[in-house]
């Protein structure tokens, strides 16, 4: 059969169909480090293995819709950052049949997702250095996503997605250090971050991690949007 056949009739009869799925790679930040949300399988085969959460794509859904629904069902979150990563299509990637799966990655605010929901689904947050073996090719997906997030974070301020409404500069520094897996110079970090002029300092202090307390900041949505639209370089050291 020639590739010409793709558009040679409008019924596309005789071509081989496949199952299409999505898998979600969900990152969160607990104010200490960046973490990945994994789910324990409750059914055979591979019962008790850790896995990404996913779903088959229905006839009336786009991939994005399907991934959104998964995210909503398992985290209760809507309208969160969700981006296509890559489509995985190895012929034998799934012993259950020919399944092609598009991996999505999501950045969520850990403070918005209920611990109960996570528990109910037998899910768990893992630090990037303690990720267990995963079913199918999910480890490959995660590896790819971590690489991607390290690149992405340099070109896009990810604060809105991962940080709570109010946060301290030490917290956001820890976030970046956790992604880069590298210590950053406090003075330079603060200088650069503040120079973007997208943060507004509140009068409140967070004293949960020091006696002196650190000022809480908010993102200035307006300036943040201008900043993103104008294009910028968020690289930090």
The entry of DNA, its own copies, none near residue 9 (CB within 5 to 8 angstroms by kind) is its own copies
Closest contact distance (angstroms) between CB of 216 and its own copies is 34
Closest alpha carbon to 196 in 153, 140, 234: 234
Q: What is the DSSP letter of 16?
A: P
* Contacts for 168-174: CB closer than 8 Å, 24+ residues apart: 168/206, 168/214, 168/215, 168/216, 168/217, 169/193, 169/214, 169/215, 169/217, 170/209, 170/214, 171/31, 171/206, 171/214, 172/217, 174/31, 174/32, 174/33
Closest alpha carbon to 126 in 194, 39, 201: 39
Rule CB under 8 A: is residue 60 a binding residue for its own copies? yes
51, 139, 209, 220: which one binds its own copies (CB under 8 A): 51
Nearer Cβ to DNA, position 4 or 211?
A: 211
C-alpha 137/C-alpha 130 separation (Å) is 17
C-alpha 219/C-alpha 140 separation (Å) is 34
Rule CB under 8 A: is residue 12 a binding residue for its own copies? yes
Rule CB under 8 A: is residue 197 a binding residue for its own copies? no
The entry of DNA, its own copies, none near residue 150 (CB within 5 to 8 angstroms by kind) is none
Rule CB under 8 A: is residue 194 a binding residue for its own copies? no
The entry of DNA, its own copies, none near residue 218 (CB within 5 to 8 angstroms by kind) is none
The entry of its own copies, DNA, none near residue 207 (CB within 5 to 8 angstroms by kind) is DNA
C-alpha 99/C-alpha 61 separation (Å) is 16
Q: How many CA atoms lie within 13 A of 191 on its CB side?
A: 6
Binding interface with DNA (CB under 7 A): 168-170, 185-188, 190-192, 195, 205, 207, 209-215, 233, 235-237
The entry of DNA, its own copies, none near residue 213 (CB within 5 to 8 angstroms by kind) is DNA
32, 36, 64, 225: which one binds its own copies (CB under 8 A): 64
Rule CB under 8 A: is residue 145 a binding residue for its own copies? no
Tokens at residue 229, please?
A: 């639209």
Contact residues: its own copies, CB under 8 A: 2-12, 15-21, 41-43, 45-46, 51, 53-64, 69-70, 73-74, 84, 86-87, 89-91, 95-100, 102, 135
């Amino acid at each position: 059969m020639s590739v010409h056949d793709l558009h040679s009739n409008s019924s596309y009869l005789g071509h081989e169909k496949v199952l299409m799925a999505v898998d979600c790679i969900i990152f969160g930040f607990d104010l200490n480090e960046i973490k990945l949300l994994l789910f324990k399988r409750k059914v055979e085969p591979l019962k008790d293995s850790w896995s990404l959460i996913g779903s088959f794509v229905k006839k009336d859904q786009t991939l994005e819709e399907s991934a959104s629904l998964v995210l909503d069902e398992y985290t209760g979150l809507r309208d969160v950052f969700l981006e296509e990563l890559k489509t995985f299509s190895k012929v034998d990637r799934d012993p259950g049949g020919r399944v092609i799966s598009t991996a999505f990655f999501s950045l969520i605010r850990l403070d918005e997702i209920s611990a109960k929901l996570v528990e109910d689904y037998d899910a768990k947050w893992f630090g990037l250095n303690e990720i267990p073996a995963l079913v199918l090719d999910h480890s490959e997906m995660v590896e790819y996503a971590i690489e991607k997030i390290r690149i992405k974070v340099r070109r896009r301020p990810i604060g809105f997605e991962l940080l709570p409404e109010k946060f301290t500069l030490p917290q956001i520094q820890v976030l970046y250090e956790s992604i880069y897996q590298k210590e950053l110079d406090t003075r330079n970090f603060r200088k650069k971050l503040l120079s973007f002029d997208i943060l507004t300092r509140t009068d409140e202090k967070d004293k949960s991690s020091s006696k002196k307390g650190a000022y809480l900041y908010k993102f200035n949505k307006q300036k943040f949007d201008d900043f993103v639209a104008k294009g910028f370089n968020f690289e930090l050291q």
